[in-house]
């Protein structure tokens, strides 16, 4: 399978998160995510409610995009919505701009929700491999959650390793792009980091990259250093899980002119 997920994890202590927030308060590197859980019998009504909410946003010239995805594997009765990368201050403006449609959401969407979670995610370009002009596309996206061992030692050791891994992918012009995001205030069961990688189709998803990720790293740094980097990563990981999402144009909101 087209997977690059067995290598990456980071640990983040509270002090690290707060420092990151302070450093990025004016930088458009923060994404907000909402994930909705829907009872199967309510799917049609729920989707109609989301469309009504989007119509309300458009009627009030809401300028912030929400991209919707369906969960194709794992729990397939989940829907996720993510913003474009924004600065922290933009979420204050977004909240104010969306208030006229809060009542529409409560009346049209809430009755059909089984549950909803939300988190912020900080894009980490220095730990990602996204060549210029590359985006996550509009096909399928593999999502990998990383729950990490506690303690700043694992975080500090692995951050250095993750930067080297991304640098190797950039240097070798590796064919499989990926983006790493740090989860901020996601709640008790939230992962620490999320890795996303796009595929145009299921056929593309199932195609093995050539060379494989670790072969690519070995080609750049040598076999001994590649093994050492892999061990550093493995030592930091407590638990991983993954699923695949697909883009849903019908439930996405794009501001007029976009």
The answer as to whether 47 is a domain residue is yes
The CA-based angle 170-175-181, given to 5 degrees, is 60
SS3 state of residue 111 = helix
DSSP for 179-190? EEEEEES--TT-
The answer as to whether 151 is a domain residue is yes
The answer as to whether 208 is a domain residue is yes
Residue 20: per-residue pLDDT: 44
Residue 55: per-residue pLDDT: 98
**Number of domains present in the structure of the chain:** 1
| Model pTM score | 0.86
- Predicted confidence pLDDT, tens digits, the chain (258 residues): 455 544 443 333 333 333 444 445 567 899 999 999 999 999 999 999 999 999 999 999 999 999 999 999 999 999 999 999 999 999 999 999 999 999 999 999 999 999 999 999 999 999 999 887 666 667 999 999 988 888 888 777 777 888 999 999 999 999 999 998 989 989 888 898 899 999 999 999 999 999 999 999 999 999 999 999 999 989 988 888 999 999 999 999 999 876
Residue 134: per-residue pLDDT: 65
Tell me whether residue 25 is exposed, middle or buried, using C-beta atoms within 10 angstroms of its C-beta: 0 to 12, 13 to 18, 19 or more.
Answer: exposed
The answer as to whether 2 is a domain residue is no
Residues spanned by the domain of 130: 14-251
Q: How many angstroms separate the Cα of 141 from the Cα of each of 144, 176, 195?
A: 10, 12, 10
Distance, CA of 73 to CA of 254 (rounded, Å): 26
Supply the CATH number for residue 207's domain.
Answer: 3.30.70.100
142 φ/ψ angles, rounded to the nearest 5 degrees: -80, 130
Distance, CA of 40 to CA of 65 (rounded, Å): 27
The answer as to whether 256 is a domain residue is no
């Amino acid at each position: 399978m087209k997977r690059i997920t067995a290598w990456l994890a980071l640990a983040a202590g509270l002090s690290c998160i707060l420092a990151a927030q302070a450093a990025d308060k004016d930088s458009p590197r923060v994404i907000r995510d909402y994930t909705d859980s829907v009872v199967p019998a309510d799917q049609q009504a729920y989707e109609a409610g989301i469309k009504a909410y989007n119509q309300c946003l458009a009627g009030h010239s809401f300028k912030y995009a929400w991209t919707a995805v369906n969960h194709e594997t794992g729990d397939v009765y989940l829907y996720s919505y993510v913003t474009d990368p924004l600065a922290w201050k933009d979420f204050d403006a977004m909240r104010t701009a969306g208030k006229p449609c809060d009542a529409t959401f409560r009346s049209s969407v809430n009755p059909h929700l089984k549950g909803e979670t939300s988190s912020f995610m900080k894009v980490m370009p220095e730990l990602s491999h996204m060549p210029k002009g590359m985006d996550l596309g509009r096909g399928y996206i593999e999502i990998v959650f990383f729950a990490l061992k506690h303690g700043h030692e694992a975080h500090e050791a692995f951050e250095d390793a993750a930067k080297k891994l991304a640098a190797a992918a950039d240097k070798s012009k590796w064919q499989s792009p990926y983006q790493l995001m740090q989860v901020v205030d996601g709640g008790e069961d939230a992962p620490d980091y999320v890795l996303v990688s796009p595929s145009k189709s299921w056929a593309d998803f199932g195609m093995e990259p050539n060379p494989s990720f670790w072969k690519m790293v070995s080609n750049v740094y040598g076999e001994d250093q590649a093994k050492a980097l892999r061990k550093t990563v493995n030592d930091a990981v407590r638990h991983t899980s993954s699923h695949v999402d697909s883009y849903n144009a019908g439930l996405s909101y794009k501001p007029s002119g976009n």
